[in-house]
Structure 1
Amino acid sequence: MNILVTGGAGFIGRWVVKRLTEDNHNIWILDNLANSSIDNIKDLQFNYPNITFIEGSIMDTNLLETLFINKFDICYHLAASINVQDSIDDPKTTFENDVIGTFNVLQQCKINNTKFVYMSTCMVYSKALNIEGISESHPTCPASPYAAAKLAGENLALSYYYAYGLPTTVLRPFNTYGPYQKQNSEGGVISIFIDKKLMNKPLAIYGDGKQTRDFLYVTDCADFVVEAGYSEKTNGKIVNAGSGVDISITELAKTIAGETGTIKYVTHIHPQSEIQKLLCDSRYSKKILGWSPKVSLVEGISKTEEFLRTQL
């Protein structure tokens, strides 16, 4: 197939592209490199000649129109402003990228009858209320402009399914981590913690550390994203992906730091947007896709640390 991946040079996008190359598709990556790096895909470009990279923005409607001449079968839309604090400080940029940018891509998908797979986030949910976790019907609570913009993008995507019959799918993966994730404040907590450990610095926990997260290793996430795009069963649907197990940030820090590491607690930078308990109920994704994660948290942390050691 001919496949477009917006944000394909980003952390998750890179792994989605890798999985697609293994399935021998022709892949176009559109990325403005604002929150990603060409280094993330250099090995893929070297090994797979069927990748075309375009540096550009989903805000550029002329570029999108030209790009869609390639008649894509599927568009995996991962391009977005993803940082919660940035969305609080500058909601306009997040709104423009995550809502108007999504609209721009959707319009081209409609014109060209391209399946649209929208990467949303577990951040749209309110906290888990029971031991079974958060299912797709769980209440949403946009506690940041980022979450609100993602919800708006979801509704746009689904409206194109109902209004125009365009095959669209909304994905809500939980806290994804692994190699190529940033280790600065915009990265994931696991990568940040491992980076601090490798530099013999304290692992800083925002707030009291009792908040929990459901962590999903990035190759499992990429498999989920790709398979959701392949399947007709996901059309017009919202689908979760997670491990089904949550861990407190304090326990996570202890696991990564080991006996020799140190942990400190610091003032939360955006407590109003903190979701206290994130636990995924991903039974639906297993039912319609046959998908379930393969990599345990302990194994995933080990793989991520091994990768980060090579970056020192």
Structure 2
Amino acid sequence: MNQKSILITGGLGFIGSHIAIEAIQQGYRVSIIDNLSRPTSPQNNNKEKTKFFTRNLIQEKYPSIRIYVKDIRNKETLQQIFAEIQPSIVIHAAGQTSAIDSISNPEFDFQNNVIGLFNILECCRQSLNRTTFIYFSTNKVYGTAPNNVSLTEGDLRYFPSNPKTMGIAENSSIDQTKHTPYGISKLTGDLYVQEYGKLYNMDTCVFRLSCIYGDRQFGFEEQGWVSHFVIQALLNKEITIYGNGKQVRDILYIDDLVDLVMTYLQKMENSESQEFLDQEANKVFNVGGGKENTISLLELIDIIEDQLGKKIMLSSQIWRPADQKYYVTDISKVSKAFSWQPQIDALKGLKNLIVWTQNHIELFS
């Protein structure tokens, strides 16, 4: 039975809670920090009904998970928690998550995504344990640079003009491009994590995520777009398309991301892992569904309509700032390092999401 101590920041959120549940089932001692704040956007009109859903679920079904309702911007509080639980593994899933909200309130974005992360890193650096640290970054660190990929416009989506294009790799440029403050704050954290790993002998890993989706994702217009489309459709509400709807993303079901995280931790704990540490510690990996799991906004609308057997009301608005016309993850590096591939294809994952949302529609109505 594994008794290593894991601390998950943002552990009551979508990604963090899924990892917490899997980790406790695999025998880790799990603690969560979450301040229960949720985006304040007017579009997030399901906030009050969903705010405590995951907390109640964990308290009822997994009472051994320790929950600290605290704010990572408070360094003194973090130091007390680190002293209590002495984590050897920290998974940082907390932060402000909306690129659009970051434009209207960049200070809030900076405080949560940079200062909060810095406080966590400092606690790790000062800890008695050598810390394994996983940071969830984002494809937004590349800004609109991926749009430099030559594209062909089809009826429902953009395609790379070169059909052999695998997607966006880790060595893609981050310079001379528009990111939004969210993209910049996450990139700042990304670089801090890499530097702390190299400078302070921490085992750090950065996962630059594409679009993650799945059950218990309470999406709304500014964040969690796949879930948001499903919720709106089930409630017979209008969906607003920004731009022409042909924007393409690769999507990854939450279970596949959790599998990758646990695979990483298992490799780190392997008694023969020194070679892996030498090769992969302090590395950066682009993580997503990859070339086989891409979808445009218009294609998602078509799938939902087909699954529900009804038409969806649509409206149009101008393009959003720094929107990427095409972002598909080249997952070859992460696949090779961890012998990992997505197991749940886009259609199966979307069917799972639709069923879960249907079964919990009272949370959104």
TM-score when scaled to structure 1?
0.94
Cα deviation for residue 8 of structure 1 reads 0.5
CA contact (8 A) 1:6 1:79 kept: yes
2:340 alignment counterpart: 291
Cα deviation for residue 230 of structure 1 reads 4.1
CA contact (8 A) 1:77 1:117 kept: yes
Cα deviation for residue 290 of structure 1 reads 1.3
2:120 alignment counterpart: 105
241, 244, 249: which one pairs with 1:213? 249
Q: Give runs of aligned pairs for residues 112-191 of structure 1, distance below 5 A.
A: 112=127, 113-125=130-142, 126-127=145-146, 129=149, 131-140=165-174, 141=177, 143-191=179-227
Structure 2 distance, partners of 1:186, 1:12, is 17
Aligned residues: 311
CA deviations on 1:51-103 (whole Å, 9 max, x unpaired) are 00000011111111011112111000011001111110011111111111111
RMSD: 1.7
Larger Rg: 2
Distance 1:264 1:106, change over 3 A: same
Cα deviation for residue 167 of structure 1 reads 1.2
1:93 alignment counterpart: 108
CA deviations on 1:178-209 (whole Å, 9 max, x unpaired) are 11112322332221111121122333211101
The answer to whether structure 1 residue 19 and structure 2 residue 22 are counterparts is yes
Report the AA paired with residue 323 of structure 2: E
Cα deviation for residue 298 of structure 1 reads 0.8
1:305 alignment counterpart: 354
The answer to whether structure 1 residue 67 and structure 2 residue 67 are counterparts is no
The answer to whether structure 1 residue 77 and structure 2 residue 111 are counterparts is no
- Bigger drift between 294-303 and 202-211 goes to 202-211
Structure 2 SS opposite 1:72: coil
CA contact (8 A) 1:205 1:263 kept: no
Structure 2 SS opposite 1:127: helix
Cα deviation for residue 40 of structure 1 reads 1.2
Structure 1 SS opposite 2:321: helix
CA deviations on 1:142-174 (whole Å, 9 max, x unpaired) are 510000000000111111112111111111121
Unpaired stretches in structure 2, ≥5 consecutive residues = 39-49, 150-159, 269-275
Report the AA paired with residue 120 of structure 1: S
Structure 1 distance, partners of 2:322, 2:258, is 26
CA deviations on 1:96-126 (whole Å, 9 max, x unpaired) are 1111111100001111132211110112123
Structure 2 SS opposite 1:68: helix
CA contact (8 A) 1:82 1:146 kept: yes
CA contact (8 A) 1:177 1:215 kept: yes
Unpaired stretches in structure 1, ≥5 consecutive residues = none
Structure 1 distance, partners of 2:20, 2:216, is 13
Distance 1:237 1:200, change over 3 A: same
2:311 alignment counterpart: 261
Cα deviation for residue 263 of structure 1 reads 4.5
The answer to whether structure 1 residue 251 and structure 2 residue 299 are counterparts is yes
Cα deviation for residue 220 of structure 1 reads 0.9
The answer to whether structure 1 residue 222 and structure 2 residue 258 are counterparts is yes
2:228 alignment counterpart: 192
Structure 2 distance, partners of 1:142, 1:168, is 27
Structure 1 distance, partners of 2:67, 2:86, is 16
CA contact (8 A) 2:238 2:315 kept: no
Identity of matched residues, %: 30
CA contact (8 A) 2:101 2:222 kept: no
Structure 2 distance, partners of 1:91, 1:166, is 30
Structure 1 distance, partners of 2:355, 2:234, is 11
The answer to whether structure 1 residue 236 and structure 2 residue 282 are counterparts is yes
CA contact (8 A) 1:133 1:280 kept: yes
